[in-house]
Structure 1
């Protein structure tokens, strides 16, 4: 599948861009309690996607480093993973670029995440960000957009969604053989938002 690795890298760098936009140091007050973290499980979406690469210690460390001193975020760690459908990268992939800690302004962080994804190298926003509240979201907003990314002379359609709550945030890009060549306006973002909410439920872990 042409361009999937490049798309994965673009999504990872989008998280770094989010942290870079979070502002400078300010008073260490008003942060929510740390109650949840993010993990990188061996599978996602009820076992259909298998972990291909855990990049939390490499690309993820950039998230932690660049977040130091941000006025509205105390980032404790990152969770960055690349997953393949039934272990077959040519069938489909999911890339999750996430962070966990304490976030004063979840809506700001989520919107910045989407903006950062749209500013990735070779990417253009084909469908503007839209907010969703899938069944079971319990008040969590999932924002989704559709990007087109040109690589090796081919244009690829990539739906990207993101959430941020008081303790966790991530962008989720899902690339399949069906959506890769789909007209951006025809991408089912309601379904993409529901998928992102399920990813959140499988990666988000309570601190004991």
Structure 2
């Protein structure tokens, strides 16, 4: 009787293997674990390099976002009327909140036009539903039925015009004009560098009050010429910033010209109630 040849040892995974071959290594279902970092701190990918599993790594030196000059100016101008309502008119003693006769009849309103100053500036963004809502939600006993308009305009030369106004029945429009100037000066990071002056642009029949406000924030410094008007139905402030003026000294800015442009803006956005 012939003795059968010896059989190869069984494969650990249940499959016989020919003689002279090694069984395959166990599949690596899991990645090899990294050595623990000293003191128990988790290991981090090197700055600027790829992250684990092909995910992008962290940037080498992440920088916080900086606020733009545009956002800074819009904040100062739009906030002027909020500060007026919150800080100024609440202390008036001459206004009886129940005496409706103190307030003039509503005849006009303000609208956000697609272009102003004879088309030089076109509408960039209408902020009436956001910044304007803050104005409307601030109690003001000197206004009946107040509505706010806030808008930012740009020119082809990248000049900027910001409008912040309200309309309704205003009991003290002249006083409101001055308070708008104070409100802009009281904004965070702002200071008056050219004090308010009154102008009466020819052909418009209104008084416009103008000043230059310097604002500082996030490394940006801006001299903003701004003017305000107030009548029985409307009050607003206009800031007009031209690229050619950025390098100018605040005292050299032509406020009389800005007053005329503000009066023109008023004539373009103020319309009779239908």
TM-score, length-scaled by structure 2: 0.70
| One of 53, 59, 63 as aligned partner of 2:131 | 59
- d(CA) in 2 for partners of 1:197, 1:151: 30
- Provide the aligned length of Structure 1 versus Structure 2: 202
Shift in Å, 1:67: 3.2
Give the drift of 1:177.
Answer: 0.9
| 2:79 paired with 1:79 | no
Q: Distance in 1 between matches of 2:207 and 2:144?
A: 21
1:191 paired with 2:257, answer yes
Deviation string 1:141-185 (CA, Å, 9 cap, x unpaired) is 100000111233232111010001000010000111122221111
Q: From the CA coordinates, give the structure whose radius of gyration is larger.
A: 2
Q: Secondary structure at the match of 1:63?
A: helix
Residue-by-residue CA offset, 1:39-92 (whole Å, 9 max, x unaligned): 000111111111111111111112112135x1x221431111000113x6xx21
SS of residue matched to 2:203: coil
For structure 1, the residue ranges without an aligned partner over 5 or more in a row are none
Structural mapping, 1:1-208, within 5 Å: 3-20=69-86, 21-23=88-90, 26-29=97-100, 30-67=102-139, 70=141, 72-86=142-156, 91-138=158-205, 140-208=206-274
Q: Which has the higher contact order (CA 8 A, sep 6+)?
A: 1
CA distance in structure 1 between the partners assigned to 2:145 and 2:259 by the alignment: 24
- 2: CA distance between counterparts of 1:75 and 1:131? 28
Backbone CA RMSD of aligned residues: 1.6
Where does structure 2 lack aligned partners over 5 or more consecutive residues? 1-67
